[in-house]
């Protein structure tokens, strides 16, 4: 007689993949079963140490589930030896996933280096036209030689030379530079290259004539930290790097991090230390790939949401966790990088852009100065979707901003088979309106799923390189929109109970659509879109829409001239589907554009042009912030936006979207199907009208 | 047959006492034999650990002698255990002197806590009248409560309140204070006490109404570091502390420290780290004795000679070691205390007064603002004697300054039986001009030596508490002057070869006077004043006099209205003897005054009054510095000042000094002797005229 084995909850971060594991299942096996790809070369023979994971200590609220301390088997001596030899941080809970066995509910963080497939992150900085006029510049200067009977001191003589040759007065000098001044002057035979910050402070002195000032612009996202290393003379991007924000281990959304800082005495220190180390790592890597060293970085500009900026500065974000959401500081700050523990040039400054309000931070101000809606007459709606959506609305006369609690569904989290936009994620979905048969495309694989041949004897070119492991943000949006267009779900989001189909499973009154069958997935389990997934997408899109609508109401605006989608979300989703689902208000489709990481671009702009910093400070205060959390109008709009929209008067442009055949990957003998489909849509919409 | 044991050189710092020790003599025994008093309770039983010393590693040039690495016996396990248990720094070469055996030439530093008798240091700050108007002040302010729909942030709201209630604008806030702002506002129910620096920067925020801002004024001498902790509201001195400068282990005079920094790669770091730790210790002790903590210190003002200030700031002083003696920076500086590693309040500043030139530093500027000769019409000569003498001359119309290389003889160093002004040092000397019998008084003992009864059965009140262990600065000056007055040495400094006497020993042509016989000393060896000692005093006094004379020549001044003796030297020596030896130019004796540690007073004045800092910066540049090192006039004056002066026209006031009976400790039946003596002096001076 076999007794049923005990089962435990296992969650893998940062993907958020979850599932159950039997007692004593190795973490590596559980991960693979759940579609979390962890690298492993030796296959558990304790030699490669590639499969390192961090088993979280403490109790964290993650997606409403709590994982407790120490619910994995203790490490053997061999494992400890290997971990120690490979420089692992045992204190942080580092383990080898091939030998750590599940013995309770457990939360596991898979560090970037252990992931089999790295995240897809837009690395290249958008090529924007920026006037290069940075805060840091170099001047070459010839200094009077020290001589007996003349007592100004070397710094006094350098000041005199800078005034005479460059009209620079009232300068100060960083202590670290003063320490190196005398040898530099003598080595350079009294000619030096001086690096200045805002023409106010000397932040470097090098012997002789030297060229090269470098800056780093970083967007510190809740999940991703992306930086561009720039040549401050040419404005050229020399290197771009992106890494996961290590704070993800302390909670995926902002509120969990705020509460981690509030409830753990060393919580803030850990998160602060984590992001500083991450920034040092990112900067060092960027410098290396540009043939530089981290200490060549003369200045940095950082942006991020208010919680990220508070933690970056070592300020407890707890006030942001509840009304009235008071910021410690709204204004821009200049801080010595070394004060934060950053290993840039010892005299380098960090400039942090200002915030607008408790929930709209420096990242949104960066979007503002990158997009400059305040210089334009057409009315812009700028939407930057992350775990919170930041929304800007207005034109040169007036701008409004708001933050809307969309939750992480649009990023692929809180979706039963959701995952971030990584290799294996379903990112495109089509459902035949007649047969209800799906086709999809996964990241990292060029072919649509209906072109795959997964048979053992299939020609190599027909075998997919990557099977599906989950659904990412753009995938879930397309899936829900296509489910609606095919009539599988109704306008209120319910699965249509009147049309049974083999693709739809029922669990009581809750349907689920089989998007990928077992043979198409890396886990060997089908990938479903469940009723809960549809609900979560509905909540997210209603929040986003309600936020935009609230701003329109406040501004007395009834139409929008252009919509700008910022951030990764905007780059990956198809605006048509966003409009079909009603994520964004009505607007001519050709006026909806994606601009990529506008926050990162704004940071780079502020790095390269100091006047843009003044502009940021000015417009951050000029924008009228609307607090969604307390506005009854917001609740009202939110409730009204839960349904998937009809083509009513409120959505004149939606009608044209639906009349237009949706894009197909190949035009090959598809005309008939496309026509039938359009016809069917028109029919159904006529009925429901 | 006994073979003669090997002998080695042993030097004890900071006293500079030296002598030979046989192989395998414990350091503690050698120390006691040489009059260096090291504490020991257990007497070598390895339990008390009171006798710790630091055996210097590396090779140091000290008084021309080199001591090599590792010339003591290795530590036993028991010693290592005890050292470890008592928190000793084994890396720094800490050993127990009772068990470490001499096995080569060795340089030993006796840390302050191991010394049986602490140094005599003038601790109380002179009571000067100072307008209290410090750079740091506190204001109480009521701040608007954070509320929804208002987005200034807590710092923005605090700024608004400070502007409305105190007319304070353009403020910045230290990052460390910003980190604590939100809890402080809430704990204080939106009322806080704000500490401001120069009304420019917020350097503390405390909940509710709080009183108390504190500052530390420190004079960093080459040998002694003396600090006053002050209440910045009242100006009151709450505590005074003085400690040895730990850099003494790296060389007693400035040049040895400069060369240590030049020749040892980590030399600067060690000396910088040493002084910072010493300052932390001094500050913590001062705070404790005032019932405060070190982090209650809101600001500090530091002064010191240029080498000390360079090392304090972590700047290599090597340029000060040779012409043209270029300072890294002449101007005053404000630096965050934390940047230097000082554990004051995390936002506290350190203000360092400016220097005048490469050899006249912030300490002399402090003397300048304390004495304010620039506000006076009479012509002042201000002399601050240390290892270098700094000299100021002038009045409200013009001031000159110079530094004169007196060497350490006037401080009791480079004297064969010299020592610092500590218990047991001979500080007063009288020699009977007829009998040539000496009388002396030692520090820590009220009776003159001719009242001592050292016999076994002597009544307790007649037994001296302390025997003589050496001669300090004031003692050697009086000894040489009295030797001259008694005719034992001649005007050119030679021992008079024509009058043999039992008190004078001869070694070839070099005489030596027995000042204390074996029974009067703690070492059981007589204390002599040798021909070399007299020569060293002559060189020192000639340098001092030549410096003053050079300034008089430059200034076109032929008389001085008053002489101010600053520093410990000035407090301990009798101005009459200084004038007899010709240390200082001619001046009415009643116009020669000692002002104690004027540099420390100046530091305190700058701490308590921020306008005095501007005055310091102004007058530091206003004073005309004369470089003695390259002036042919200086050499000329120096050579002319080697002899002990006659009462010529150049010294009209010396005549009156010599006519006046010298002071006696007791007037009891001394009249006859005094009369005889005056007569004899007149006779001799008439002859030599």
Judge: B154–A181 Cβ closer than 8 Å, yes or no. no
For residue A180, the chain B residue with the least C-alpha distance is: B315
**Is pLDDT of A122 > 50?**
no
pLDDT in the model for residue B29: 87
Query: What count of other Cβ atoms lies within 10 Å of the Cβ of residue B396?
Result: 13
Cβ atoms B361, B355 nearer than 8 A: yes
For residue A673, what are its two tokens?
Answer: 């199907």
Global pTM reads 0.79
Question: What are the pLDDT digits (tens) for A480-505?
Answer: 999 999 999 999 999 999 989 999 99
Judge: B155–A328 Cβ closer than 8 Å, yes or no. yes
User: Which positions in chain A have a beta carbon within 8 angstroms of at least one beta carbon in chain B?
Assistant: 146-156, 173, 175, 178-179, 181-183, 313-316, 318-319, 323-331, 333, 335, 339, 355-358, 625, 627, 629-630
- Banded pLDDT at B249 (limits 50, 70, 90): confident
Instruction: Quote the CA–CA distance of B158 and B207 in Å, as a whole number.
Output: 13
Cβ atoms A612, A369 nearer than 8 A: yes
Nearest to A326 among B153, B175, B327 (CB): B153
Judge: B178–A313 Cβ closer than 8 Å, yes or no. yes
- Banded pLDDT at A660 (limits 50, 70, 90): low
A302-311, A405-414, B421-430, B527-536: lowest mean pLDDT where? A405-414
Judge: B326–A357 Cβ closer than 8 Å, yes or no. no
- Banded pLDDT at A438 (limits 50, 70, 90): very high
Contact list in A for residue B349 (CB cut-off 8 A) is none
Cβ atoms B548, B383 nearer than 8 A: yes
Judge: A330–B151 Cβ closer than 8 Å, yes or no. yes
Instruction: Quote the CA–CA distance of B44 and B27 in Å, as a whole number.
Output: 11
pLDDT in the model for residue B522: 84
Query: Percent of chain A at pLDDT above 90?
Result: 55
**Is pLDDT of B531 > 70?**
yes
pLDDT in the model for residue B667: 36
**Is pLDDT of B489 > 50?**
yes
For residue B338, the chain A residue with the least C-alpha distance is: A339
Mutate to test the interface with B, among A145, A146, A147, A153 (most CBs of B within 10 A): A153
pLDDT in the model for residue B662: 47
Backbone angles phi, psi at B126, to 5 degrees: -55, 140
Q: Which residue has the higher pLDDT, B675 or A94?
A: A94
pLDDT in the model for residue B333: 97
pLDDT in the model for residue A414: 77
Residue-averaged pLDDT of chain B = 86
**Is pLDDT of B634 > 80?**
yes
C-alpha A70, offset from chain centre: 30
Instruction: Quote the CA–CA distance of A159 and B167 in Å, as a whole number.
Output: 34
- Among candidate residues B34, B57, B32, B56, the one with its CA nearest the CA of residue B44: B32
Q: In whole angstroms, how far apart are CA A160 and each of A168, A226, B35?
A: 9, 41, 55
- Among candidate residues A292, A590, A573, the one with its CA nearest the CA of residue A421: A573
Q: In whole angstroms, how far apart are CA A333 and each of A32, A216, A350, A360, B361?
A: 45, 16, 8, 16, 36
Contact list in A for residue B323 (CB cut-off 8 A) is 148
For residue A651, what are its two tokens?
Answer: 């959505």
**Is pLDDT of A49 > 80?**
no
Q: In whole angstroms, how far apart are CA A45 and each of A40, A50, A87, A99?
A: 10, 11, 18, 9
Q: Is A684 exposed, middle or buried (0-12, 13-18, 19+ CB in 10 A)?
A: middle
Could you tell me which residues come within 8 angstroms of residue A32 by beta carbon, excluding any fewer than 6 positions away? A38, A523
Nearest to A330 among B153, B179, B319 (CB): B153
User: Which positions in chain B have a beta carbon within 8 angstroms of at least one beta carbon in chain A?
Assistant: 146-156, 173, 175, 178-179, 181-183, 313-316, 318-319, 323-331, 333, 335, 339, 355-358, 625, 627, 630
Instruction: Quote the CA–CA distance of A373 and A355 in Å, as a whole number.
Output: 17
pLDDT in the model for residue B118: 42
For residue A150, what are its two tokens?
Answer: 């003349």
Contact list in A for residue B330 (CB cut-off 8 A) is 151-153, 155-156
**Is pLDDT of A153 > 60?**
yes
Instruction: Quote the CA–CA distance of B350 and B607 in Å, as a whole number.
Output: 10
Mutate to test the interface with A, among B269, B328, B400 (most CBs of A within 10 A): B328
DSSP character for A188? Answer: T
| Average pLDDT estimate for B26-54 | 77
pLDDT in the model for residue B596: 85
Tell me which residue has tokens 């996933």: A97
Residue-averaged pLDDT of chain A = 86
Task: Establish, for the pair of chains A and B, how many residue pairs have beta carbons separated by less than 8 Å.
Answer: 123
pLDDT in the model for residue B673: 47
CA distance A157 to chain B (A): 9
- Among candidate residues A6, A10, A30, A26, the one with its CA nearest the CA of residue A18: A10
Instruction: Quote the CA–CA distance of A130 and A136 in Å, as a whole number.
Output: 16
Long-range pairs for B587-592: beta carbons < 8 A, 24 or more residues apart: B587/B381, B587/B560, B587/B561, B587/B562, B587/B563, B587/B653, B588/B653, B589/B653, B589/B656, B589/B657, B591/B561, B591/B562, B591/B563, B592/B562, B592/B563, B592/B565
Containing B273, the helix (H) or strand (E) segment is helix B267-289
Instruction: Quote the CA–CA distance of B431 and B489 in Å, as a whole number.
Output: 12
Instruction: Quote the CA–CA distance of A292 and A309 in Å, as a whole number.
Output: 27
Contact list in B for residue A329 (CB cut-off 8 A) is 153-156, 173, 178
Instruction: Quote the CA–CA distance of B579 and B658 in Å, as a whole number.
Output: 10
Mutate to test the interface with A, among B144, B147, B150, B153 (most CBs of A within 10 A): B153
CA distance B389 to chain A (A): 19
**Is pLDDT of B19 > 70?**
yes
Judge: B315–A153 Cβ closer than 8 Å, yes or no. no
- Banded pLDDT at B441 (limits 50, 70, 90): very high
A59-68, B224-233, B547-556, B677-686: lowest mean pLDDT where? A59-68
| Average pLDDT estimate for B205-230 | 94
Could you tell me which residues come within 8 angstroms of residue B364 by beta carbon, excluding any fewer than 6 positions away? B305, B356, B384, B390, B392, B401, B599
| Average pLDDT estimate for A573-593 | 89
Backbone angles phi, psi at A206, to 5 degrees: -120, 145
pLDDT in the model for residue A116: 59
**Is pLDDT of A387 > 90?**
no
**Is pLDDT of B367 > 60?**
yes
**Is pLDDT of A42 > 70?**
no
Q: In whole angstroms, how far apart are CA A560 and each of A78, A392, A394, B356?
A: 64, 12, 9, 68
The structural domains of chain A, ordered by start, are 7-114 (3.10.20.30), 136-207 (3.10.20.880), 214-352 (3.30.420.480), 368-407+537-656 (3.30.420)
- Banded pLDDT at B348 (limits 50, 70, 90): very high
Judge: A148–B323 Cβ closer than 8 Å, yes or no. yes
DSSP character for A478? Answer: H
- Three-state secondary structure string covering A129-164: CCCCECCEEEEEEECCCCCCCCCCHHHHHHHHHHHH
For residue B657, what are its two tokens?
Answer: 């000094």
With the CA atoms of A610, A612, A617 and A619 taken in that order, what torsion angle do they form, in degrees rounded to the nearest 10? 170
pLDDT in the model for residue A58: 40
Question: What are the pLDDT digits (tens) for A564-581?
Answer: 999 877 778 888 898 899
Nearest to B179 among A182, A314, A333 (CB): A314
Nearest to B154 among A313, A328, A627 (CB): A328
Question: What are the pLDDT digits (tens) for A216-274?
Answer: 999 998 888 999 999 998 889 999 998 888 887 777 678 888 988 998 889 999 999 99
Q: In whole angstroms, how far apart are CA A573 and each of A243, A445, A528, A570?
A: 22, 17, 20, 6
CA distance B401 to chain A (A): 12
**Is pLDDT of B672 > 60?**
no
Q: In whole angstroms, how far apart are CA B412 and each of B423, B470, B481, B595?
A: 13, 9, 15, 20
Contact list in B for residue A179 (CB cut-off 8 A) is 313-316, 328
Contact list in A for residue B175 (CB cut-off 8 A) is 313-314, 333, 335, 339
Q: Which residue has the higher pLDDT, B387 or B117?
A: B387
**Is pLDDT of B64 > 60?**
no
Adjacent-strand bridge partners of B301: B217, B351
Highest mean pLDDT range out of A90-104, A602-616, B422-436, B497-511?
A602-616
DSSP character for B212? Answer: -
Cβ atoms A480, A534 nearer than 8 A: yes
Backbone angles phi, psi at A339, to 5 degrees: -65, -30
Question: What are the pLDDT digits (tens) for A180-217?
Answer: 999 999 999 999 999 999 999 999 999 999 989 999 99
pLDDT in the model for residue A672: 46
A86-95, A372-381, B177-186, B477-486: lowest mean pLDDT where? A86-95
For residue A328, the chain B residue with the least C-alpha distance is: B154
């Amino acid at each position: 007689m076999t007794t049923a084995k005990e089962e435990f909850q296992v969650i893998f971060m940062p993907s958020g993949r979850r599932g159950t594991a039997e007692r004593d299942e190795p973490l590596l096996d559980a991960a693979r079963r759940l579609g979390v790809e962890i690298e492993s070369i030796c296959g558990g023979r304790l030699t490669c140490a590639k499969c390192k994971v961090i088993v979280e200590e403490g109790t964290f609220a993650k997606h409403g589930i709590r994982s407790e301390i120490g619910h994995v088997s203790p490490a053997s001596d061999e494992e400890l030896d290997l971990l120690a030899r490979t420089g692992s941080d045992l204190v942080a809970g580092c383990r080898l996933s091939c030998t750590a066995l599940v013995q309770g509910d457990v939360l596991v963080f898979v560090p970037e280096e252990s992931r089999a497939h790295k995240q897809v992150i837009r690395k290249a900085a958008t090529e924007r036209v920026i006037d290069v006029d940075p805060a840091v510049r170099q001047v070459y200067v010839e200094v009077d030689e020290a001589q007996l009977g003349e007592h100004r001191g070397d710094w006094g003589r350098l000041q005199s030379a800078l005034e005479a040759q460059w009209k620079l007065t009232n300068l100060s000098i960083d202590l670290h530079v003063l320490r190196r001044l005398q040898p530099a002057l003598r080595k350079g035979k009294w000619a030096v290259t001086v690096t200045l910050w805002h023409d106010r402070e000397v932040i470097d002195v090098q012997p002789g004539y030297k060229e090269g000032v470098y800056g780093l612009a970083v967007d510190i996202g809740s999940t991703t930290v992306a930086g561009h290393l720039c040549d401050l003379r040419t404005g050229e991007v020399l290197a771009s790097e992106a890494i996961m924000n290590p704070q993800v281990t302390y909670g995926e959304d902002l509120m969990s991090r705020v509460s981690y800082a509030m409830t753990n005495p060393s919580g803030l220190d850990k998160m602060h230390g984590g992001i500083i180390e991450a920034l040092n790592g990112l900067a060092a890597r960027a410098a290396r790939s540009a043939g530089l060293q981290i200490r060549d970085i003369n200045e940095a500009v950082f942006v991020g949401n208010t919680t990220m900026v508070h933690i970056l500065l070592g300020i407890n974000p707890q006030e942001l966790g509840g009304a009235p959401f008071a910021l410690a500081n709204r204004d821009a700050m200049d801080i010595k990088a070394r004060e934060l523990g950053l290993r840039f040039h010892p005299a380098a400054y960090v400039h942090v852009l200002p915030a607008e309000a408790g929930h709209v931070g420096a990242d949104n101000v960066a979007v503002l100065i990158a997009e400059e809606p305040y210089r334009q007459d057409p009315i812009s709606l700028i939407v930057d979707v992350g775990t919170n959506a930041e929304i800007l609305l207005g034109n040169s006369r007036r701008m409004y901003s708001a933050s809307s609690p969309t939750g992480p569904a649009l990023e692929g989290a809180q979706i039963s088979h959701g995952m971030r936009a990584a290799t294996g994620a379903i990112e495109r979905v089509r459902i035949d309106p007649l047969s209800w048969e799906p086709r999809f495309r996964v990241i990292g694989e060029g072919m649509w799923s209906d072109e795959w041949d997964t048979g053992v004897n299939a020609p190599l070119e027909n075998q997919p390189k990557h099977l599906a492991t989950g659904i990412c943000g753009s995938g879930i949006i397309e899936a829900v929109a296509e489910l609606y267009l095919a009539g599988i779900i109704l306008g209120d989001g319910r699965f249509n109970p009147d049309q049974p189909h083999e693709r739809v499973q029922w669990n009581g009154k809750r349907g689920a659509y089989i998007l990928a069958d077992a043979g198409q997935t890396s886990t060997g389990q089908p990938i479903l879109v469940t009723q809960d997934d549809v609900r979560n997408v509905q909540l997210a899109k209603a929040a986003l829409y309600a936020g935009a609508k609230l701003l329109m109401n406040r501004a007395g605006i009834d139409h929008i001239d252009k919509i700008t989608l910022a951030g990764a979300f905007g780059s990956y989703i198809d605006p048509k589907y966003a409009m079909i689902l009603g994520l964004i208000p009505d607007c001519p489709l050709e006026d909806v554009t994606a601009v990529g990481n506008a926050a990162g671009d704004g940071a780079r702009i502020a790095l390269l042009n100091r006047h843009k910093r003044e502009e940021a400070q000015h417009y951050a205060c000029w924008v009228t912030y609307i607090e969604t959390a307390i506005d009854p109008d917001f609740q009202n709009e939110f409730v009204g936006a839960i349904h998937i929209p009809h083509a009513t008067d409120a959505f004149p442009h939606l009608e044209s979207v639906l009349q237009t055949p949706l894009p197909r990957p190949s035009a090959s003998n598809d005309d008939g199907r496309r026509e039938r489909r359009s016809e069917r849509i028109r029919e159904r919409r006529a009925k429901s009208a």
